Amino acid sequence: MKKTLFLIIAIIAYLNGFSQNTGIIWEKTFGGTRVDIPNKIINTTDGGYMIVGSSSSTDQDISQNNGNSDVWVVKLNSDGVMEWENTFGGDEADIANSVQQTSDGGYIIAAQTYSSNTGDVSENHGEADYWILKISGTGTLEWQKLYGGTDFDIPFDIKITSDGGYLIVGNSFSSNGDITDHHEEAGASESTSDFWVVKLNSTGILVWAKSYGSNNMDIATSVENTNDGSFLVTGKASAGGDVTDNHGGYDLWTIKIDNNGSLVWEKCYGGYNDDWANSIINTSDGKYLIAGGTESEDGDVTGFHGDYYSASDEWLVKIDDNGTILWTKTLGGTDMDEANSVFQTSDGSYMVCGFSKSNDGDASGNQGDKDFWVVKLTGNGNIVWQNMFGGTKADVANSVVQTQDGNYITVGASLSSDGDVSTHYGYEYFDDFWVVKFKDLNSNSEYLKVSDKINVYPNPATTDFTITFNENTQNDYLIQLIDAEGKTGYSKEFASNKVQINRNGLPAGLYNIQIIKNNKIYTKKLLLK
């Protein structure tokens, strides 16, 4: 009897400690018995979430499959309950890499397709094309477009532009079709890829397409709107062509282009070995933060934690509008660590997600193989706290945003069926979508989910709009506009109860108005059309 009582007390203590230590609010698994991999999560106007990726399953949560892998879109409510899902594709592999919510409540998706003239896919130009899908708010396909050449063309990110169109970035191996300026050394024995940037209008019609890069392998992974209506595109690149001052191997390469695609400037960041970017955001101080990985320990990289022959670190680079480095930060341990997504939080800090195989250095709590690794940083890049989620197999976080209640939600691919992962649908080596909502481990702010102290009109807005704040404004307070990916589109201090804000080229979409005053955060939704 005493042993039984002791065991019960021990189990309760373990469970209590478990829930307190992990910071997990809830976790959910979605997928089937084959490979299901999520690549992006965003907030939606109704307080829920949209996730896009790919699925090769034909059972469990997946209603249908067109062949091989399909684009899979999953709509969740605020509690992580699936509201609807849909698949799009043809008889070959189709994979969604990025999504934005449009002003009509629907979604624009950047995907890669290897299918041609089957299922939902119209005629493919070659091996793989940029596949752009516009779907309704309930998941119905409204239109789809393909762009590319006869080789492999793969998009990784899409942004809504200030004119209501779209900018898509990725890489292209092609030198024909929609690609007219491919960089390739004459007589080269192997194909090479460029940054390939495509500008579309609001109905998916091609406005312009441009290639940038060296005569080797260059891959664009992320794009961000700038304050002057231009764009920053980042990824990795080799030496030569448009790429100057390469440090060795692949460098983290960032370019600024204007709204016609003309190159304004380009910068290489890194060291002797490989360095790369996976995500870029604009920050509330008018600068930019890039997150990715590094295998270097020289050049622009300091504080590398591991042996570069078998390890990598997360690498963060803060730059100004001219591409000048303001600071860099390496995060990790002696094994493999990489950052896949970053955004600025409502309190001005940064949240980074990716994976870690380390259990030393900056990383602790690893449960086996790769774990989801989330790190909160100060505005100067210093660690506030870090946490890991996962099980004994590989779990990789690909995207993270802040929720409307001030917590966070991340999504990634999981092979585990133990540890923090309560359910696994896939076979032994097949991933599931794994979604984790987790809390801020040391937030000092009182977060108010929706505030009647804020009024905004007109809402939806097409041009300028006015915010009134029904609160004592004896001291200055901060107004921020946070987009659906958790990125800060606007940030300024005010003292007046009534403020008119110039849209200043802010793209259409859903924003959270956040007013920060005396450690309290008041929120309200704003839709820009």
pLDDT at 450 (0 to 100): 66
For 289, counting Cβ atoms within 10 Å of its Cβ (0-12 exposed, 13-18 middle, 19+ buried), the class is buried
Rounded to whole angstroms, how far apart are CA atoms 192 and 181?
13
pLDDT at 489 (0 to 100): 82
- Kindly state the tokens that stand for 302: 């300091």
pLDDT at 507 (0 to 100): 86
Determine the average pLDDT of the residues in 166-184. 95
Between 170-184, 357-371, 498-512, the lowest mean confidence (pLDDT) is in 498-512
Rounded to whole angstroms, how far apart are CA atoms 446 and 442?
12
> Which pairing describes strands 446-448 and 520-528: parallel, antiparallel, or unpaired?
parallel
pLDDT at 431 (0 to 100): 97
Q: In the 3-class helix/strand/coil scheme, how is 32-62 assigned residue by residue?
A: CCCCEEEEEEEECCCCCEEEEEEECCCCCCC
Q: What phi, psi does 490 have (nearest 5°)?
A: -155, 140
**Percent of the chain, pLDDT > 70?**
94
Q: Map residue 433 onto helix, strand or coil.
A: strand
Computed on alpha carbons and rounded to an integer, the radius of gyration of the chain in Å comes to 23
Rounded to whole angstroms, how far apart are CA atoms 72 and 64?
10
Rounded to whole angstroms, how far apart are CA atoms 110 and 123?
17
pLDDT at 473 (0 to 100): 65
Beta-strand runs (E) in 270-331: 275-282, 288-294, 313-319, 325-331
Using 50, 70 and 90 to split pLDDT, how confident is the model at 190? Answer: low
pLDDT tens per residue, range 194-213: 999 999 999 999 999 999 99
Contact 244, 191 (CB under 8 A): no
Determine the average pLDDT of the residues in 315-341. 97
* Residues forming a β-bridge with 223: 233
Rounded to whole angstroms, how far apart are CA atoms 180 and 168?
17
pLDDT tens per residue, range 376-428: 999 999 999 999 999 999 999 999 999 988 899 999 999 999 999 999 998 98
* pLDDT of 146 above 90: yes
For 14, counting Cβ atoms within 10 Å of its Cβ (0-12 exposed, 13-18 middle, 19+ buried), the class is exposed
* pLDDT of 172 above 70: yes
Buried b / exposed e along 473-494 (16+ C-beta atoms within 10 A): beeebbbbbbbbbbbbbbbeeb
DSSP element (H, E) containing 397: strand 395-402
Contact 355, 372 (CB under 8 A): yes
Residue 471: how many other CB atoms lie within 10 Å: 16
Mean pLDDT (the chain, rounded): 91
pLDDT tens per residue, range 430-488: 999 999 999 998 877 777 666 788 999 998 898 899 999 988 766 788 898 988 887 88
Q: Which domains does the chain have, with CATH numbers?
A: 446-528 (2.60.40.3080)
pLDDT at 306 (0 to 100): 83
Best CA proximity match to 344, nearest among 291, 272, 415: 291
pLDDT at 497 (0 to 100): 87
Half-sphere exposure for 372 (CA within 13 Å, toward CB): 33
Q: In what order do the strands lie in the sheet with 454-457?
A: 454-457, 465-469, 498-501
* pLDDT of 240 above 60: yes
CA dihedral for 495, 501, 502, 506, sign (positive or negative): positive
Query: Which phi-psi region, left, alpha or beta, contains residue 319 (left: φ > 0; alpha: ψ -120 to 50)?
Result: beta
Rounded to whole angstroms, how far apart are CA atoms 119 and 219?
29
Best CA proximity match to 340, nearest among 368, 370, 309, 382: 370
Rounded to whole angstroms, how far apart are CA atoms 188 and 444?
57
pLDDT at 400 (0 to 100): 97
- Kindly state the tokens that stand for 300: 């622009």
Rounded to whole angstroms, how far apart are CA atoms 167 and 149?
18
Rounded to whole angstroms, how far apart are CA atoms 412 and 431?
9
pLDDT at 355 (0 to 100): 98
Determine the average pLDDT of the residues in 300-306. 94
pLDDT tens per residue, range 1-46: 444 433 333 333 333 333 334 799 999 999 999 999 999 999 998 9
pLDDT at 391 (0 to 100): 97
- Kindly state the tokens that stand for 80: 């992580």
Best CA proximity match to 288, nearest among 318, 266, 243: 318
Determine the average pLDDT of the residues in 89-113. 96
Contact 282, 226 (CB under 8 A): yes
Best CA proximity match to 41, nearest among 389, 436, 452: 436
